[in-house]
Amino acid sequence: MLGELTDREKIILRYIIEDFIYTANPIGSQSISQKKDVNLSSATIRNVMSDLEEMSYITHPHTSGGRIPTDKGYRYFVNELMGYGTLKSNDKNKIKKHIDDIELTGDEVYKEVSKILGKLSQEISVVSQPYFSEGVFEKLELIDLSTSKLLVVVSIKSGLVRTLLFDIDSGIRRDKLDNICRILNEKLSGLTLKEIRNTYSQRIGDLKEEASEIIKVFVESIDKIFQEEKEGVTLYIGGTTEILSQPEFGNTDNYKSIIELTDDKHVVFHVLNNMPVDETGISISIGVENNEEKLKNYSIISTAYDAGGVTGRIALIGPKRMDYSKMVSMLNFTSKVITEKK
């Protein structure tokens, strides 16, 4: 629980954090004293800064007289001091052009979103595919590719499709495939994929005599067909070049560490799906709040988007010094554009 600060302490802390976000340099009392709404002497400001440091909201690196925010300071700023600004029209237009004005099909839209977010934010951007398992079943098709190969095509109402190829022991007549498709579609229509996965044995138990070979394939493959995504969902990563413009990545070791992190899709997916969400739908995790050791020096901002009834996540990962207000606005706007496109 963060303690309450005086109005004076709030003003000083806000300026330290905002100026540090902008300059990446430790902030001294002289710099704060020049602000128009700070009618305090440098000596008084130094005293307030000492109090803030004693409460662990700021610290001073090495022998520098200036201060920088701690993780606790950033958290107080995000919770209590930061306003959610409006994204600049120029940035809005760039995002809309990239997503709306270009003809994109299938997963291309998510790849392009990761690119434009990385470019505009100059942070690492992460976009997940929608979670197929959340979808409402629309239809299933069974296509015999050969006497021993069967293609299963599952469509959900959002327009997403999943295909799987299966081996079967012997050829099955086309009329039997058509009949089994018709029956399955009737029995499964309107159910979520999760419901189908959990209740399929009751729903299709009476079909076993209809076409035992195909039902055997269907039953044995039910987890693959209607699986819930865990590590398997596709992630698109952008901003790996743009983030080099951040001062923190002048050190090649820092750059190498964050690239190695984003290459570990399992870690990234796990982190995105376990972040606490506030009442606005935004998730912000700062430094030590990240359970993953590789993320202790970074912050993550994430939100969900809706693609025709199924959801995915978009996120930005970068130095703790990121412009939180701007990044939140960018993610909210991007989520809105994706939702409207789908």
Taking only the tens place, the pLDDT of each residue in 178-198 is 887 888 888 888 888 778 777
Among 49-58, 199-208, 224-233, 234-243, which is the least confidently predicted range? Answer: 224-233
Is 93 exposed, middle or buried (CB count within 10 Å of its CB: 0-12, 13-18, 19+)? exposed
Q: Does an H or E element contain 336, and which? A: helix 324-341
User: What contacts 24+ positions apart, CB below 8 Å, involve 215-221?
Assistant: 215/180, 217/150, 217/166, 217/168, 218/152, 218/184, 221/152, 221/164, 221/166
Instruction: Give the list of residues 6+ apart from residue 2 with CB closer than 8 angstroms, or none.
Output: 72, 75, 76, 79, 80
Choose between 113 and 212: higher pLDDT: 113
Q: Domains of the chain by range and CATH?
A: 7-81 (1.10.10.10), 89-130+231-341 (3.30.450.40), 133-225 (3.30.390.60)
d(CA 342, CA 337) in angstroms, rounded, equals 9
**Helices vs. strands in the chain: H and E counts, helices first:** 13, 10
User: pTM for the complete prediction?
Assistant: 0.81
Report pLDDT digits (tens) over 12-32: 999 999 999 999 999 999 899
Is 119 exposed, middle or buried (CB count within 10 Å of its CB: 0-12, 13-18, 19+)? middle
